[in-house]
Structure formats: structure tokens, C-alpha cells
Amino acid sequence: MTESQGTYEQPHSYSAPVNPEWPPPPPYQPAVAAPEPRRKRTRGPIGLLAAVAIVAAAVGGGTAYAFQELTGKDTVATAGSTTPVVPSSKKGDVAAIAAAVSPSVVEINATLQNGSATGSGVIITSNGEIITNNHVVSGATSVKVRTSDGKSYTAEVVGTDSSKDLALIKLKGASGLKPAALGNSSGVQVGDTVVAIGSPEGLTGTVTSGIVSALNRDVTVPTDENQGQNPDGEGQWPFQFGGREFNGDTGSSTTTYKAIQTDAPINPGNSGGALIDASGRVIGINSAMYSSASSSSSDAGSIGLGFAIPIDTVKSDLAKLRAGSDS
């Protein structure tokens, strides 16, 4: 039989036509299933957040804050004992800690009926929730806040808890702020390096350092907003410790809490500021300090006896404060 070019007369062979779209399988070979098309990698919000979470966990610092900004939720930035805010190579470096945490600490100026009070506060959400001491804002008719970059805001008192000397305030019209990472005070040990940041005597962003001197100190402070308020804004706050009174009369209405004692120099105006561990996590809110004399004396100031409310106490009280408790 003569074979002409371009014809296909052989019954037992198969040649595919040129550029087929879907060629049939050879007649004498078993059909092979075509491989499934590759699935596209998920690029939606869930996949993106999962990828960011992995990267952030590897990097370490600012994990909770990064996740918060991406999801748009104003959640408190917490950090576990293995999540440093400063690089591990800079652990304990006061300059590195100050650079990382100072943007999260603010100066608070409260106007009282009989004067004013100056204190500090710690930003805990990017939209302007701030933890401070109750005695800083107690009885205030208005509250002004200045951030580390010099911006000023008006704030409202959301909730107070005089039994723990804590208060939550909220800035009006704030966004994109840097919240501090809240650590775990249960792991703090005597001798640990700490850094204090606040606004003593209105000197915004003052940084000092020291160690944890003792734990679980019973500190007694007033609960009545009129007790111990200093109308001239010096920020002294009376408290009792070891059966003795310091910085004035605490009065008859008082409460006692367990405090972290530190020798990091803190002075009037530091109240409500941050006590920070070597990795840059907030472990306490500075609340009381002993001054050997009145602030007008030449020897006034810190003598290495300062007290801070453990951050675990703050975290356990946060829901109550957010609910608008006024106690």
C-alpha cells in the first residue's frame, strides 16, 4: 500500500495533529490521569496574618503590637517571658530600653478643684488607652496628656480603682500610638535590673535605672480622693509601710496592696509611669516613693525607696476599669 504525505492509513499507530488543544491518549497505552492543577497559595487576610505572626514571632520585639495594627483591633500588647522588646544582644542596655519604651510613656496633668497634679501614664492600646495611678487623676475636673513626641491630648477618665490605686484614661482623637508590652510580674526576682520612665517634676521622659530591691511589700495608700492630694502639683503621695507613714498623713480611709520595691530613682511626678525589666517589658506601675523632706528642701528627692504596683495586678483589674468602675 502506497503511503501519501499527509495521510494516516496505518491502523496500529497514532500521531498527534499539530498543536492540539486536548490530544487523546495513545490507543495502546493505559490512560494516565492528568495532574491536578496547583492550588494557589492563600493571599487573603488569614494567610497574610498567619505569615506576619510567624515572622513577628521570629523577630521578637513588638509582636502583639504588629498583630494589633494589622487586624485593626485595639488589644493590649502583652509579652510573654520569652518575648523581648529590645534585641537579646541589648538586654539590660538602658539606652536601648529607653528608646524602645519611652514612646509608650506619657505625662499627665490633672486639674483639680483646689489646684493641679502631675503624673505619668503608660499607653496600652494604639487608640489611646492609658494606665496610671488613681491618685494622679482622682477628683480631676479635666485631664491633659502629652506624649513623648510633644503632642497634647485631652483625656477622659474611663474607670478608677482606689483599692489598687489604678485608673484607666482614654485620649480623645488619638490613633497610631505605640503601646507598651506588658510583661509578667510573677517572674520578677530580687536583684533584677529595672528601668523607670516618667515625668518627675514635669520633666517628661526622664529615665532612671536600678534593681528590684524586694517583693510583696505591703504598701498602704489613701482611698479618699481628698486625702493626700497636693494642691500645688508636687505629686507627693502619702503612704504607709512597716507601720510608719511617709510623705504625709494617709488618713483613716486606706487600702493595702502588694508592691515591688525598687531603688531605681523615682520622684514626684513618676507616679503612674512604667517600671520596666531588662528586656523592655513593663512589670509595674510606679506608685509611691519616699522623700526624706519636702520638695522645697535642698535634700528632697529619691533616696532609693520606691514602690510599683505589679503589672499582673493591672492586667487582672483591666476589665473592671474598662467597664467604667469608679471605686
- Respond yes or no: is residue 165 known to be catalytic: yes
279 counts as catalytic: no
Residue 200: which of 165, 235, 246, 151 has the closest Cα? 235
Catalytic residue among 199, 271, 287, 302: 271
- 495502546: which residue's cell? 28
Told to judge if 271 belongs to the known catalytic residues of this protein, a careful annotator would answer yes
Here the cell at position 231 is 494642691
| Bridge-based pairing state of the strands 166-171 and 282-291 | unpaired
* Residue in this structure with the C-alpha cell 468602675, named with its chain if needed: 325
H or E element at residue 131: strand 129-132
Question: 305: which DSSP letter?
Answer: E
Catalytic residue (one of 135, 138, 263, 291): 135
125 contacts 179 by C-beta, under 8 angstroms? yes
Given 104, 116, 161, 165, the catalytic residue = 165
The dihedral sign for the CA sequence 295, 300, 303, 304 = positive
d(CA 107, CA 122): 9
CB atoms within 10 A of CB 144: 15
Residues with catalytic function: 135, 165, 271
